[in-house]
Amino acid sequence: MKRYKTLMTNAIIGVEKLEDIPANVMDIFISETLIDFKKENLICALWSEKTFLLKPASSYVIVTDLRIISKAHNLEQNYWDSVTGIEKNIFLDTIVLSAGNKTKIYGAYVGSTPKEVLELTFKQANIAFNNHKIKPDMVSNSSTDENIHKLEKLKSLLDSGVLNQEEFNEKKKSILDNI
């Protein structure tokens, strides 16, 4: 667990492991964001130490392998599936690009977020984004496209008389069994 001093009297806490998140903060993360950490892998979590109405996590950013959730910076949920990129501008803001939008997560002038926190989040968000975009399910889509192409070719061979119906059915079954 890392503590980053800000210009205000409070600090920002940053963690990269679930076991480093205190129970009371974890309770708030789960109740407010409905994250199931059995289905989502934590990349990093950052929250304000300052208490607001006795809730220690009144301001936070959570980056998982599926989404970014931020409370306090006008970003509630941003799923990686809709993300087209991540960038950092000259003000050290971390910006998520999606569907023609630029959503600022937070930056150097928003809540006096320390440079180290921005660097960590930017690095971890890029790792998560890149890993999520190269998931095996994307490879299976190309495999499905290939099988569809094979079926279309097979049908044209049947229509042209190169294959009879029995041969066609046998080959078709073989292709469909591999899907």
Residue 8: how many other CB atoms lie within 10 Å: 12
Q: What is the pLDDT at residue 57?
A: 55
106 pLDDT higher than 80:
no
Under a CB-based contact definition with an 8 Å cutoff, are residues 117 and 4 in contact?
yes
**Which span out of 80-94, 111-125, 136-150, 163-177 was modeled with the highest average pLDDT?**
163-177
The CATH classification number of 2-132 equals 2.30.29.30
- Return the minimum-mean-pLDDT range out of 18-22, 63-67, 144-148: 144-148
**Order of all β-strands in the sheet with 94-98:** 83-88, 94-98, 101-106
Give me the helix-helix angle, 165-177 and 136-159, nearest 10°: 180
Q: What is the residue type of 57?
A: A
Two structure tokens written together for 177: 């069994």
State the chain's mean pLDDT as an integer: 75
Q: Tell me: the pLDDT tens digits for 127-176? A: 877 777 665 555 455 566 777 778 878 887 888 887 888 888 888 888 77
Band of residue 19 on the pLDDT scale cut at 50, 70, 90 = very high
Q: What is the reported pTM? A: 0.63
Q: What residue spans define the domains of the chain?
A: 2-132, 136-177
